[in-house]
Chains A and B, each alone.
Chain A
Amino acid sequence: QLQLQESGPGLVKPSETLSLTCDVSGASISDSSYYWGWVRQPPGKGLEWLGGVYYTGSTYYKPSLKSRVTISVDTSRDQFSLKLYSVTATDTAMYYCARHARTRLGGAIPKFDYWGQGILVTVSS
């Protein structure tokens, strides 16, 4: 059974970098059928897709965040990571890692079939 688990600090200071890792177990992160993505949810609000990575290292990002975000993959460890730079209070959210589908041409399909339990990250001094 595929499982995803987020890890990282729960408190980040404003202007610093938020760094999270997602460990994948029960399946290979190198499965060519899937992307590995990050979704966040501010308290009391809806879901926001931040971007994701393919096992080859190919990435895609939400355009409005592209200048502040980096997502990477480490296939040797079956894990992928999120870095969000220059954070502010508006980046406070539950952050989820999730697996999702891709089209044969490489399009990212928002069919998230496996999710981590989520990690709450608070941006505060």
Chain B
Amino acid sequence: QSALTQPASVSGSPGQSITISCTGTNNDIGTYRYVSWYQQYPGKAPKLMIYDVSIRPSGVSNRFSGSKSGNTASLTISGLQAEDEADYYCSSYTSTTSLDVFGTGTKVTVL
């Protein structure tokens, strides 16, 4: 089972901004800055989009940004584009040994 909770779906029109939430606990997001976000297209491997809460790897568009407050992390996609339609997963370091570190996943739809 997932330790982190995400909304099942989020949608927006081209050009709009959307935010995906990722809710954890004091054992993970609330304590550590090791929060990552992944983008996954159907049939493809996940791609790292954000790490350490808000850092973008080289080559990732600056339309993607991350933040956290308390036990909740967020991924914001600004200037939504058709190519952003994908599944998004969060993950966080946890002080537990469960390895249940991924979020439940959010399907982003561009209307």
Question: Which of A's residues lie within 8 Å of B, judged by CB?
Answer: 46-51, 60-64, 96, 98, 101, 103, 107-113, 115-118
Q: Is the CB of B97 within 8 A of A63?
A: yes
Q: How many residues of B contact A (CB 8 A)?
A: 25
| Chain B interface mostly | loop
Selected A-B contacts with CB under 8 Å, 7 pairs: A47-B89, A47-B105, A63-B98, A110-B92, A110-B93, A113-B48, A116-B45
Return B40 CB to nearest CB of chain A, in Å. Answer: 8
| Residues of chain B within 8 A of A112, CB atoms compared | 36, 38, 46, 48, 91
| Residues of chain A within 8 A of B44, CB atoms compared | 117
A69 to B7, CA, bound (A): 31
| Chain A interface mostly | strand
Closest to B92 in A: A110
Interface set, chain B 11-68, CB cutoff 8 A to A = 34, 36, 38, 44-48, 51-52, 57
Contact of A46 among B97, B99, B104 (CB under 8 A): B104
| Residues of chain A within 8 A of B34, CB atoms compared | 101, 109-111
Q: Is B2 an interface residue (CB 8 A)?
A: yes
User: Given the interface contacts A110-B91, A111-B48, does A46 sit within 8 Å of B2 by beta carbon?
Assistant: yes
Q: Is B101 an interface residue (CB 8 A)?
A: yes
Return A91 CB to nearest CB of chain B, in Å. Answer: 16
Q: Is the CB of B99 within 8 A of A47?
A: no
Contact of A96 among B45, B48, B57, B93 (CB under 8 A): B45
Contact of A109 among B89, B93, B98 (CB under 8 A): B93
| Residues of chain B within 8 A of A49, CB atoms compared | 99-102
Return A68 CB to nearest CB of chain B, in Å. Answer: 14
Task: Name which of B36, B44, B57 has the most chain A CB atoms within 10 A of its CB.
Answer: B36
Closest to B94 in A: A110
Q: Is the CB of A46 within 8 A of B105?
A: yes
Return A70 CB to nearest CB of chain B, in Å. Answer: 15
| Residues of chain A within 8 A of B52, CB atoms compared | 111
Give 19 new A-B contacts, CB below 8 A, not counting A46-B89, A110-B93: A46-B102, A46-B103, A46-B104, A47-B89, A47-B102, A63-B98, A96-B45, A107-B93, A108-B93, A108-B99, A109-B34, A110-B36, A110-B91, A110-B92, A111-B48, A112-B36, A115-B46, A117-B44, A117-B45
